Structures are given as structure tokens and as C-alpha cells.
Amino acid sequence: MARCYLESRKSAARGTESIAADCMRHLYSRQHLGRAVVISSSPVPMLSAARKQWLKLTRAMQKQRSSTLNADKILKYTHLITSMQRLRFSAKNPMQSPDADVYFLHPTQVAVMPIQCWTVYVLDAIDEPSAHAMLRLLPVESLVVDYGHAALWERIGLLPKKLLEERVAQEWEHAENFLKRYDVRISEIVHEDMRTVEAMDDALDTLLTVSHSFLQVALQFQRALEIARPLRLSREARAKYDIFALLAHRVQALSPGAFTQQFLEVYNEDDTFFLYDHARELVRRGRTNAAMQGLFPFLPALPRLTRPASEACVAAGAVTF
């Protein structure tokens, strides 16, 4: 059986639209990995709802692109939007529709899975023999996202997704040690001031002298990051990861050999933006504000608005529970 991982999720509200929205927000962070499967007792209605939610996410990315003048970010968003627009949905099994990217299958159809399927969303229960048959067809380190049937997967013995997230931290430590060896300080480049350009240029000059070794380290970190996504990262960690990915993108572009788009899939992407309910956060901050004013009436009112969507994806310089 494949060594797969489990993430248990619950939709914020009931209904086809809500669970489709949650699946598509989750898939947004893993779309570059490979194919995905959504297991539902009503695959055709679920496909329709999911496509609608995917188009909403695509329009949100188009707004993000129009809100920036940064050439690197425009390139990244253009690559992302093109990829999202080309994603193909199908309610047929992989034998009937081999070119699709996201399959919506009935629980009785899981005996046939697409190749390179890295994410499976289980919306409705499947029996244990079918689950075993499905897992045998998945690649190593693929992710099963379960909506309410965790007991089945615990019996089968899937590993918790937090192990993948821990590996990201390990690979990042390895990457930082490599950079320190050549006196490259990511923290100095993160600060948004006039020294940023000079620090970036100095780091780039240094890493171009060891481009092959640096790109190997960057690829290992990127792979660990992609498999573990979506991740809940602090703003500081996300900024560091994105600077690292940007350096890798520029080193690759300036090094001889075939150029690929791989590092654009990480650079400046806020994994957590779509997966959190900003309206709920607004209410929480409003309650905190009211409580603080009750305790300390002489203090000025605390800010109640969350960061706007454009700042969440752009200002942090960035790649759910």
C-alpha cells in the first residue's frame, strides 16, 4: 500500500456550495502537484458547484495581478492564472477521460484512479475494501483529505499530515545552513527598505557561483513544501520562504540549461488566504476590541478591519488547518 497521509477537515457550513468551495480553496494550494479526485455520491452536481467556485478563485487572482506593478509578481500571477484557467474537470472515470485534471467520482468508481493523483477529497463514505484498492493506486506521499470519516482511515493506518509539515521545517533548516555557509542572510533581504535591492543582488552574485548546489537544495525544499501544502505559516516565515524561492527563480534564469516555471509556483503565494474566513476574523477582532475598551476605556479604539485581500497576497512579499 502507498505511504499516504491524512488531513481531516470540516466544512464551515453545510450544503454542496460550501463543501465545494472548501475543496477548491484547498486544491488551489496543491494544483501544481498533479491530478486530484473528489469522491462524492453526487459527482455531477458537485462538479458544477466546484467549477463555479474555481472560477471565483481565478477572478480573485486576476484582481491580485491588476493590483501590483511588480514585474516578478505579475509574472507569477500570470503563470498561476493561466494554470487555473487550463484546469480540466470531469465526472467520467480516468479511463473514459484520461486528459482531465480533477475527477469527480462516485464511491463505487475508486477502483480506477488517474496517474499522478496527489490529492483525494473524500466527501462521502467509501467501504474499506474500496479504500484499500484506491490507496494502492496513489503515489507515495499523496494526501487524503477526509470530511468526516476519519475512523476508516485510522484503521487503515494513514499517517498524519503534520509529518509532512515537520519535514518542511527540516528542509528549511538545511537550506538556511547552506545559505549561511556562503554568508547569505535571508532575514536581511526580507526588510522592505533601500538595502533590500543591494542585499538581493549580493546574494544573487554569491549563489550564481554555486548555482548547481543551490538549485539542488532549493528543489528539495520546494518539493517538501509542495507536498505539505496547504500550510499555516507566520508572516515572517512566509516572507523568508518567498525570498528563497525568488532567489532560486533568478539563479535558475541566469544559469545555463533548460528553464522551467517550477519556482513561480511558490513565489509570493499566500497559502492561507483562501482557506480562512475573513468575516469570522472580523467578528473576532471586533469582540477583542470591545473587551479591551471595557478593560481600558482610556485607550484609543483598536483597528477592527482585517488586511484587505490585495495586501494578504501582495504586501507580505510571499508561497489550513
Q: Which of 38-52, 116-130, 295-309 has the lowest mean pLDDT?
A: 295-309
115 phi, psi to nearest 5 deg = -75, 155
In a domain, 299, yes or no: no
> What is the bridge-based pairing of β-strands 89-90 and 102-105?
parallel
Structural domain including 243 reads 162-273
- Whether residues 18 and 101 fall in one domain: yes
- CA-closest candidate to residue 228, choices 277, 274, 287, 161: 161
In a domain, 133, yes or no: yes
- Whether residues 124 and 188 fall in one domain: no
pLDDT of residue 287: 44
Can you tell me whether residue 96 is helix, strand or coil? coil
Number of independent structural domains in the chain: 2
- Whether residues 45 and 150 fall in one domain: yes
Which of 160, 192, 227 lies at the terminal end of a domain, its last residue?
160
* 91 pLDDT tier (thresholds 50, 70, 90): very high
- Whether residues 119 and 211 fall in one domain: no
Q: Which CATH number do you get for residue 75?
A: 3.40.50
In a domain, 307, yes or no: no
pLDDT of residue 125: 87
Grid cell in block for residue 165 = 509539515
- Whether residues 170 and 234 fall in one domain: yes
**What residue spans of the chain are helical by DSSP H?**
16-28, 43-66, 71-86, 128-136, 150-156, 162-181, 186-190, 195-208, 211-228, 235-254, 278-295, 309-314
- Whether residues 193 and 148 fall in one domain: no
- Whether residues 128 and 200 fall in one domain: no
In whole angstroms, how far apart are CA 63 and each of 12, 74, 77, 309, 311? 25, 11, 10, 9, 12
In a domain, 216, yes or no: yes
- Whether residues 16 and 148 fall in one domain: yes
Which of 117, 132, 160 lies at the terminal end of a domain, its last residue?
160
Whole-number Å distance between alpha carbons of 123 and 121: 6
In a domain, 296, yes or no: no
Which of 103, 130, 160 lies at the terminal end of a domain, its last residue?
160
Q: Tell me what the mean pLDDT of segment 19-39 comes to.
A: 93
Q: Who has greater pLDDT, 153 or 190?
A: 153
In a domain, 44, yes or no: yes
- Whether residues 126 and 214 fall in one domain: no
Whole-number Å distance between alpha carbons of 295 and 304: 17
In a domain, 317, yes or no: no
pLDDT of residue 254: 86
Rounded to an integer, what is the distance from CA 57 to the centroid of its chain? 13
In a domain, 50, yes or no: yes
160 phi, psi to nearest 5 deg = -70, 145
- Whether residues 172 and 148 fall in one domain: no
pLDDT of residue 314: 36
Whole-number Å distance between alpha carbons of 183 and 173: 15
- CA-closest candidate to residue 21, choices 33, 31, 29, 12: 12
pLDDT of residue 308: 42
pTM, entire model? 0.76
Residue 255, pLDDT > 60, answer yes
- 10 Å CB burial of residue 221 (0-12, 13-18, 19+) is buried
pLDDT of residue 297: 44
- Whether residues 39 and 124 fall in one domain: yes
Q: Which residues pair with 103 in a beta bridge?
A: 37, 90
Q: What is the pLDDT of residues 200-237, one digit of tens each?
A: 888 999 999 999 999 999 999 999 999 999 888 888 88
Other Cβ atoms closer than 10 A to 176: 18
296 phi, psi to nearest 5 deg = -130, 80
- Whether residues 40 and 129 fall in one domain: yes
